[in-house]
Every structure is written in structure tokens, then in C-alpha cells.
Amino acid sequence: MNWNEVIIVTTTEAVDATANLLLEAGAKGTVIEDDWDYASLQDDGSGILKDELPLPAGDQEVLVKAYYPGVDSFPDTLAIIKARMDKMKKIGLNLGKYELRINDIKEEDWEHSWKAFYHPIRITRYLTVVPHWESYQPSQVDEKIIIMDPGMAFGTGTHPTTRLSLEALETTLRGGEKVLDVGTGSGVLSIAAKALGAGTVQAFDIDEIATRQAKENIAFNRYAHDVTVEPNNLLEGIENSEADLIVANILAEILILMVEDAWNNLKNGGCFILSGIIHSKREELENSLLQQGFVLEQSKVMGDWHCLICKKEVEQD
């Protein structure tokens, strides 16, 4: 069988939404090519991403590649992709110059086309993401290994929004916490939370592909076996969870919809980690958080991307 390689040229701001769209359209594998990701790995061989490297602006050109079987229905799939990309543009997402390209590739080449881009990567001080087909030995005693199948995108650690979320978890978790992971995608944040000592972790995602992929990735990591994954639209219908920490790596337009529900599901003193916030959306989202009563404890920035760590503080009588 031949395969169709669909390449979409877009921006850092739109890359996650684009990859998700392609997966929903039936892609069997995806690759995100971001020049900054590659540049950040040109170090002394340790594989640790370098904070001091110049980071891209929000309109940095990024390639999102997806792979579809060469079947008769592919033209219909392509029409769906084009229509959904047009819809994203209409709602104001910055797609940059936006180009869509198609290549035919042979059966024996397609798997290599995306696997060649993924190798073990040290994401934070303690966390290393390892593709499930790679052998890897930790370089230090306290290194935490997260085994992932990166073929289905949704966030594997290298994108700034995911890395910021992982750094925030590493900063915040102390052990034993109850964590809610909203919009879990690949499940990487839930797995990381368990690696960092969280007690109970519940993951939610509205997308059926994401929940299935999250469960598969969790199964690669025995220490995360008790993470639960459920289909749900953000935190709708979830009440009084008394969570210690809620983490969400989603677009700011979606994050703003869950501020009140996050407040209601956190215990007093609990933390709310929000990532996926492009610079132009930060002020609006921060104002919504402050109006709800959250206290901004810390912010992290990579290029045009922001991550906020907030705390629920209610004065006791």
C-alpha cells in the first residue's frame, strides 16, 4: 500500500490545533517539525533543552505532517481537512502563510518518515521522554523516565506548551497530591505527575482518539497504572473534587471557559496550572483568573507561550 503524506505549513500558535485536526481526520501518525526544537538539541550531547537559546515568535513557521492510507476515500478526507483549517482561520487562529502539500510515499518509507524524528529527550531537570521503541538508560539516579508513543501527537514534551506544563508540575508537586489533568491529550502530564509523586491522578479529554492514546501511553509506564482516563468536556459535570492540583494545557480560548469549574474543584490552597497561552491572550485570561479569586503565584514564558501557576486562596473565618 502507498501512503499519502499531508504537510501543513502553519505557525507555532496553531500547531497543536492543526495536529489534533489531522488526527481526528484519521491520520495514522504525525510529525511536528519546528526549527527551534531541533536547534534546542544542538548541545553537548546531553539532550537537555536549552533555555538560553533564542525562542520563536508566535508566527514561526512550523510543518505538521500526517500520514493517511492511499485509499479511494482520501479525497474526501482531504476536503474535511481543508474545511476545518478554513474554520480555524475564521475563528482567528493565526495560521501564518498556511500551505497544504501532499506527497505519495511507499509503505516501507512511511514509518521511518515519522519515527526518525523521535529519540529520548531530557525535557526538565528530572523528566526524560523516551519513545517506546527506543532503549534508554537513565544518566542519573533521580531521573524519571516517561515512555511514550509519539506517533499520535497531542504533546510529547518538546513543544513549548507541554514543556512549560512539565516544568510547572516539577516545581509544584511534593508528593501524594490529588491531580486532575484536563485535556490530557497523549497523557504525558498525567504520567509525569505520577512520576513526580502524585497520589491520585484523573485525566479527562473530550476527544476519543486522545483518551485511547492516553491509556496506551499510561500502559507503557507501570508506575502510572492507576491513572484513570475518562471522556469529558473540560470539567463539566465534575463537582467538588477537592483536588490539590489541576493542570490544563489547552488553547487560552478554552482555558477561560473552565476557570470557574477549576475553582470549584480545587481545595483551598490548591494550585491551577494553565499552559497553551499565546502572548496576546494572556491578559484576558489572567484577568478572568483574578476576578474568580485566584492568586497568580508564578508565570513561565518560552517565546510567545505563557504558563501560569495560580493558587486558590480563601480567607477562613
| Tens-place pLDDT, residues 132-172 | 888 898 888 999 999 998 765 555 566 788 889 999 999 99
For the chain, give the mean pLDDT.
Answer: 85
Q: Is the pLDDT of residue 47 over 60?
A: no
Higher pLDDT, residue 263 or 38: 263
Share of the chain above pLDDT 90, in %: 50
155-312 adopts what CATH topology?
Rossmann fold (3.40.50)
Higher pLDDT, residue 153 or 14: 14
- Average pLDDT in the 257-270 region? 96
Q: How far apart are CA 147 and CA 149, in angstroms?
A: 7
Maximum mean pLDDT: which of 47-61, 62-76, 143-157: 62-76
The architecture (CATH level 2) of 3-115 comes to: 2-Layer Sandwich (3.30)
pLDDT tens digits, residue range 162-187? 889 999 999 999 999 999 999 998 89
- Domain ranges within the chain, ordered by starting residue: 3-115, 155-312
| Binding-site positions for S-adenosyl-L-methionine | 162, 183, 205, 249
Q: Is the pLDDT of residue 44 over 70?
A: no
pLDDT tens digits, residue range 269-279? 999 999 989 88
Q: Would 3-115 and 155-312 be classified into the same CATH topology?
A: no
Q: How far apart are CA 311 and CA 289, in angstroms?
A: 10
The pLDDT assigned to 199 comes to: 97
3-class SS string, 268-300: EEEEEEEEEEEHHHHHHHHHHHHHHCEEEEEEE
Confirm if 275 and 246 have CB atoms less than 8 A apart: no
Crossing angle (nearest 10°) for helices 188-195 and 160-172 = 30
| Binding-site positions | 162, 183, 205, 249
In this structure, the strands spanning 200-205 and 178-182 are parallel
